[in-house]
């Protein structure tokens, strides 16, 4: 069994009702897709089982079947991102992959920086794939200077901080710096390929720093919008983005903040996070009907002004719960 799979089966187990390990490589629990038996609450007909060095999910009640990777993605997207990243770093992402012996870095990693030795997107030729990709998404010109292009992401990342034990099958990525003031404490690498399952890879140069994009741009005396993607934050005033982790705004001393999740009423993970946000008493945006785009960037590209829509649809408390119930039915 992959040590990475074993780790993440353990992490997701707390979300699975009646979870039990039957033997090595075999786990059972109540199916999260169909809810399992409605007559007998002790029935556990959902299984995770090992198969050719990987794991799969199967429900013997509703017939649902998934690879463990897709099962994890359905249950917890943030845990899924961490899982894919860990497999990627460990060289476990290929069909013929094997479980490697953990490698102890031979050199000390570099830490926080003031700048990167990379070309800025604004300096690239207009026909360059990275610049074309961002301009197609209508990323504001003023932001292109703050983004970088990296030809060999794994190799370059290891020069910043030892991360990848396997640098084969390297790839180009857009580099999104995580900054506070003028200090870069981490970065995200955004894939240019639409087929890449690991769209974002987050690397922390300071492991104690928060995984948040945009801290260098906000004014604490104004409302702060917390969105999911770094590119989405570029279309809003005074906005930050979660870089693959949960965020506690109170730890920053923020008093006025609004959560803006993606417009995906059928996404169970997003619905659960909105519900948790409302239960904490925080303000949250509930998207109105009539908008089909799933995120702020897509809305902007469709001719919608996301700032005005958001400002008109901020809710809290009981009103937020009522709006959420209607939104889930869309």
Strand partners, 227: 241
Residue pair 133/194 in contact (Cβ under 8 Å)? The answer is no
* Residue 76 token pair: 């917890």
- Alpha-carbon distance values, 233 to 28, 230, 238, 263 (Å): 41, 5, 8, 15
pLDDT band at 98 (very low <50, low <70, confident <90, very high): very low
CATH code for residues 3-89: 3.90.580.10
Distance CA 257, CA 222 (A): 9
- Taking 90 as the threshold, does the pLDDT of residue 63 lie above it? no
Pairing verdict, β 239-242 and 200-204: unpaired
Q: Where in the chain is the domain with CATH 3.40.1360?
A: 224-327
Q: Specify the 3-state DSSP secondary structure of 201.
A: strand
Residue 243 pLDDT: 82
Residue pair 242/200 in contact (Cβ under 8 Å)? The answer is no
Between 124 and 100, residue with greater pLDDT: 124
pLDDT band at 182 (very low <50, low <70, confident <90, very high): confident
H helices present in 137-289, as ranges: 141-144, 153-160, 230-233, 268-279
Residue 293 pLDDT: 96
CATH number of the domain at 224-327, out of 3.30.460, 3.40.1360, 3.40.50, 3.30.43? 3.40.1360
- Evaluate whether the domain defined by 119-209 bears CATH number 3.30.70.1400: no
Q: What is the pLDDT of residues 7-57, one digit of tens each?
A: 899 999 988 999 998 888 899 999 998 888 888 888 898 999 988 778 999
Q: Where in the chain is the domain with CATH 3.90.980.10?
A: 119-209
Q: Where in the chain is the domain with CATH 3.90.580.10?
A: 3-89
Q: What is the mean pLDDT of residues 103-128?
A: 73
- Taking 90 as the threshold, does the pLDDT of residue 78 lie above it? no
pTM of the model: 0.69
Residue pair 222/254 in contact (Cβ under 8 Å)? The answer is no
The residues, any chain, with a CB within 8 Å of residue 330's CB and separated by 6 or more, are 265, 289
pLDDT band at 108 (very low <50, low <70, confident <90, very high): very low
The residues, any chain, with a CB within 8 Å of residue 138's CB and separated by 6 or more, are 297, 300, 301
């Amino acid at each position: 069994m992959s040590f990475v799979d074993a780790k993440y089966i353990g992490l997701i187990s707390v979300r699975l009702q009646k979870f039990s390990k039957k033997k090595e490589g075999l786990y059972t629990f109540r199916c999260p897709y169909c809810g399992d038996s409605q007559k007998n609450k002790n029935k556990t007909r959902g299984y995770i089982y090992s198969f050719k060095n990987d794991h799969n999910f199967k429900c013997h009640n509703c017939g649902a079947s998934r690879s463990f990777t897709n099962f994890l993605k359905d249950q917890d997207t943030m845990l899924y991102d961490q899982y894919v990243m860990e497999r990627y770093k460990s060289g476990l992402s290929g069909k013929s992959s094997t479980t490697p012996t953990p490698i102890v870095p031979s050199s000390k990693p570099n830490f926080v920086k003031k700048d990167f030795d990379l070309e800025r997107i604004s300096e690239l030729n207009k026909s360059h794939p990275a610049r074309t990709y961002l301009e197609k998404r209508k990323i504001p010109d003023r932001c292109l200077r703050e983004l970088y292009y990296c030809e060999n992401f794994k190799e370059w990342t290891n020069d910043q901080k030892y991360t990848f034990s396997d640098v084969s099958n390297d790839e180009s990525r857009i580099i999104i710096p995580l900054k506070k003031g003028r200090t870069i404490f981490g970065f995200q690498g955004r894939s240019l390929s639409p087929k890449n399952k690991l769209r974002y890879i987050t690397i922390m140069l300071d492991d104690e720093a928060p995984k948040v994009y945009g801290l260098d741009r906000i004014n604490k005396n104004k409302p702060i919008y917390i969105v999911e993607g770094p590119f989405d934050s570029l279309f809003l005033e005074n906005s930050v983005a979660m870089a693959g982790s949960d965020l506690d705004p109170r730890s920053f001393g923020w008093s006025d903040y609004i959560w803006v999740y993606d417009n995906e009423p059928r996404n169970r993970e997003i619905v659960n996070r909105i519900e948790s946000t409302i239960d904490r008493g925080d303000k949250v945006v509930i998207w109105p009907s009539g908008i089909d785009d799933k995120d702020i960037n897509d809305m902007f590209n469709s001719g919608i002004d996301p700032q005005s829509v958001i400002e008109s649809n901020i809710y809290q408390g009981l009103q937020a719960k009522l709006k959420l119930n209607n939104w889930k039915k869309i």
